[in-house]
Amino acid sequence: MQDEGGFDVIVIGAGPIGAATARHLTERGASVLVVGPDEPSGFEDHDGVWAGYYDQGRLGHVLEVPLMTSMLAMRSIRRFPDLQERSGVAFATPRESLTVMPDDSDGGGLAAWFNRGILARNAADLGVAVEQMSADELRREYPDLEFAPGHVGIVQRDAFIVNPRGLVRAELTAAVAQGAVLVRDVVDSVERSPQGVRVTSRSGETWSAGQVVVATGAATNVGGLLPKQLDMRTYGATVVLVEVSDPAEFDIPAMMYLKAPGDQVVYGGIVMSPLQYPDGKWYLKCSGRSLLDNPLDSAEAITRWVRTGGRQEDIRESLDLLAELLPGKSLGPAHTRPCMVCETPTALPYIDRVDDHTIVAVEGERGAMAADEIGRLAAGLVIDGLWTDGIPHEAFQARWAESEVTPALKSVATA
């Protein structure tokens, strides 16, 4: 067994949050090792965990609830230009973000996530300009789109589509340029002692450090890398990709759409304007209301879910929605891709110290747009030894499941 020597910090997980944490740690002068696997070549026979960032487009905006989520996103987005320039990786494309929901002018609303008044107040608190639109204004502003009757909207003009793969590449490029060491491997175990930690990978390599950051996303509770389980749920989500031959024919905003005529939810999720994927083709991306239908509680359950490729029934739901939303447009073949998300009871990230040598930094489905700020906060907790940000730490303190777990000698590093 080879011991590669010591580091100040080892970051387990090379996805958006792990990569961002590594970058901010190196900027604070720490010697850093970041360990995480490359993206798998496919999912049909995949064995292991799966990361949610294996995608080409996520919303980057402040139209989120709770307010803290919007604040984290805004802090991250403001650093995007500098990160893109320093890394040479373009990952953020300007695009309007439009949220559409049933008219809630009477103060109601089916869900806090789609309450127009709350979204508008949050944006105002952050000094971000948004516009509320009536049903008639929606029709005039977006004549090529056919929304359900009685639905209204709110739009942020200066939003972005964030490429999660590109974001990770940019963060890692910047971190390595500042001295971080990147190892593409899977971490099997973390041993703790009064002096620090010793991390062992699946390939048999070991490294020591004073501290370790566990940033393994939706797989955190199945990896056995923490001394106890987080109060966090993991789900297998489905992305539907619908091919289009000419993306120029689909000049549409990035959308969150709650279609609920008569207060009956028909669709609730994302409709992303055309994105080019690694296969060279352009796709409309939909992610609908089955987001939390597939709870996963073990590494084996994750593997089984990934191999399904996602919930096939979502294809019909997405095609029906797009046919109504984009009348007269020609749509090509559709297929699904598996995705992973996690959910905390606070609806906020966990950024917290677990013990003298361990910090955890995880987020759910909004991890990409807020990852750089989550990484900065996690790095500050490591370097400073205490919480120094203006946001109260209580907002991000970890909550723990009832029973503790014994650290396992298997699984994982993901994002």
Distance from C-alpha of 184 to C-alpha of 179, rounded to nearest angstrom: 16
Residues 306 and 214 in one domain: no
Out of 343, 363, 396, a domain closes at 343
Distance from C-alpha of 218 to C-alpha of 239, rounded to nearest angstrom: 16
Q: What is the CATH number of the domain that holds 327?
A: 3.30.9.10
The answer to whether 276 touches 161, Cβ cutoff 8 Å, is no
Residues 206 and 149 in one domain: no
* pLDDT score of 242 more than 50: yes
* pLDDT score of 407 more than 90: no
Structural domain containing residue 320 = 96-158+234-343
Distance from C-alpha of 403 to C-alpha of 392, rounded to nearest angstrom: 27
Out of 321, 343, 365, a domain closes at 343
Amino acid sitting at position 368: A
Residues 190 and 133 in one domain: no
Q: What is the CATH number of the domain that holds 190?
A: 3.50.50.60
- The answer to whether residue 337 sits within a structural domain is yes
The reported pLDDT for the residue numbered 2 is 40
pLDDT digits (tens, 9 = 90+) for 305-318: 999 999 999 999 99
pLDDT digits (tens, 9 = 90+) for 148-193: 999 999 999 999 999 999 999 999 999 999 999 999 999 999 999 9
The reported pLDDT for the residue numbered 293 is 86
The reported pLDDT for the residue numbered 106 is 67
pLDDT digits (tens, 9 = 90+) for 115-144: 899 999 999 999 999 999 999 999 999 999
> Which is more confident, 217 or 415?
217
Distance from C-alpha of 370 to C-alpha of 363, rounded to nearest angstrom: 9
- The answer to whether residue 47 sits within a structural domain is no
pLDDT digits (tens, 9 = 90+) for 346-397: 999 999 999 999 999 999 767 799 999 999 999 999 999 999 999 999 999 9
- The answer to whether residue 373 sits within a structural domain is yes
Residues 238 and 138 in one domain: yes
Question: Rounded to the nearest 5°, which phi and psi values hold at 60?
Answer: -125, 95
Q: Which distant-in-sequence residues (6+ apart) come within 8 Å of 6 by Cβ?
A: 196, 207, 208, 209, 210
* pLDDT score of 48 more than 90: no
* pLDDT score of 342 more than 60: yes
Strand partners, 338: 238
Report the candidate in 30, 67, 11, 55 with the shortest Cα–Cα distance to residue 368: 55
Residues 210 and 353 in one domain: yes
Number of domains in the chain: 2
- The answer to whether residue 71 sits within a structural domain is no
Q: 3-state DSSP call for residue 22? A: helix
The mean pLDDT value for 195-221 works out to 96
Residues 251 and 153 in one domain: yes
- The answer to whether residue 352 sits within a structural domain is yes
Helix (H) or strand (E) holding 377: helix 367-384
Residues 284 and 197 in one domain: no
